[in-house]
Amino acid sequence: MLLNWTVMILYNYFSAMFVGPGYVPLGGTPEKSQDCMYLQYCKVCQSYKAPRSHHCRKCNRCVMKMDHHCPWINNCCGYQNHASFTLFLLLAPLGCIHASFIFVMTMYTQLYNRISFGWSSVKIDMSAAKRDPRPIIPFGLSAFAASLFALGLALGTTIAVGMLFIIQMKVILTNKTSIESWIEEKAKDRIQYYQTGETFIFPYDMGSKWKNFKQVFTWSGIPEGDGLDWPVRDGCHQYSLTIEQLKQKADKRVRSVRYRVVEDYSGVCCPVTKGVKTFFTTPCTEEPRIALSKGDLILATRGLKHWMYGEKILDSAADGGIRERGWFPRKCVEKCQYDSETDQPVDGEKKNR
């Protein structure tokens, strides 16, 4: 049974790794040219992002139905490998629970005949078992330490990976991804902030957990659809989510604040020279840091107490249209003192917007 767990775990693990999530074709455009107005354009892939797809900085491609980039499989979790990845998250804790049971029972049965209870102390004799016949495999102090260490790893994996499985099943049963759950939350915040009276309905939730489940898990192992076009619920259309993304993108531009760099920053993850608080409060994220030079202009979109996230304002003609976005220390910049309603942004800012 333990070997069976191992085979199934490794099969789904390598399937998620090598099958991959599926990528949007390079240079792809929608069949109807008028649909381009509802889609975001990826400058790196030179194509329009299909509904539910997102560009991954690690894979350097637009991924179909991207959920997240997983360092465990060194690949993205998306349209084609979502089922294999989720099965791996299920089977790994089950196999570890079985292994934990074996470790516990092994240590219990071996220690049961080695423990002697005295009036003042409890003694454990690890040299030999006080029973006949002797065990086939000697169980000494080193075997006990190895079993205890393996038990800790198995229990830790069960808890950590089991929690990830629960998170994945929650989004699968609503036919969402982790990114789409975040987009839905931002849609609610945007509507509440501007009091527009809109009602955002997530278009891909079929209204039934079983129907949503079948969108990812099939008997053939191949998910439904082609990863570009998706069935939607009544009252929505294929571009309901992409239109909301464009609205959020426009809102992000409006609410961004321009800063000027006053201190150089090398782009290291934990800068020692920027203060103790900055060093210990570095953002726990895979998002990049950007190097800053004194005099640079930054459009900041969000931030923490000691860190900010934004995009460097560059000359599109000189940098080839490449955007530099990432985290940087708050103490390295100061807010530009200008009236956003009257003053016009610089040329580079216009082009990037």
pLDDT tens digits along 213-231 = 999 998 888 888 888 888 8
Q: Identify the residue whose tokens are 């759950």.
A: 181
Both structure tokens of 130: 């006080």
Q: What are phi and psi of 51, to 5 degrees?
A: -55, 135
Catalytic-labelled residue, pool 70, 76, 96, 332:
70
Both structure tokens of 25: 């074709």
Is there a contact between 141 and 124 (Cβ–Cβ < 8 Å)? Answer: no
Is there a contact between 54 and 66 (Cβ–Cβ < 8 Å)? Answer: yes
- Strand, helix or coil at 69? strand
Q: What is the mean pLDDT of residues 109-129?
A: 59
Q: How far does CA 347 lie from the centroid of its chain? A: 35
Is there a contact between 131 and 175 (Cβ–Cβ < 8 Å)? Answer: no
Residue 156: predicted pLDDT: 93
| Strand boundaries in the chain, DSSP class E | 41-42, 47-48, 54-56, 61-63, 68-70, 75-77, 115-117, 122-124, 257-261, 297-303, 307-312, 325-329, 333-335
H or E segment and range at residue 5: helix 2-19
Both structure tokens of 34: 């008028």
Q: What is the pLDDT of residues 168-211, one digit of tens each?
A: 999 999 999 999 998 999 898 888 888 878 888 899 998 889 99
Q: What is the mean pLDDT of residues 263-291?
A: 89
Residues 6+ apart with CB under 8 A from 339: none
Q: How far does CA 132 lie from the centroid of its chain? A: 54
Domains of the chain in sequence order: 1-21+80-121+138-255 (no CATH), 256-335 (2.30.30.40)
Which is nearest to 223 in space by CA: 46, 63, 22, 13? Answer: 22
Q: Identify the residue whose tokens are 């891909």.
A: 204
Residue 16: predicted pLDDT: 93
Q: What is the mean pLDDT of residues 8-12?
A: 94
Work out the angle between the directed axes of helices 240-255 and 178-194 (0-180°, nearest 10): 60
Any catalytic annotation for residue 70? yes
Least confident of 1-15, 83-97, 248-262: 248-262
Predicted TM-score of the model (pTM): 0.77
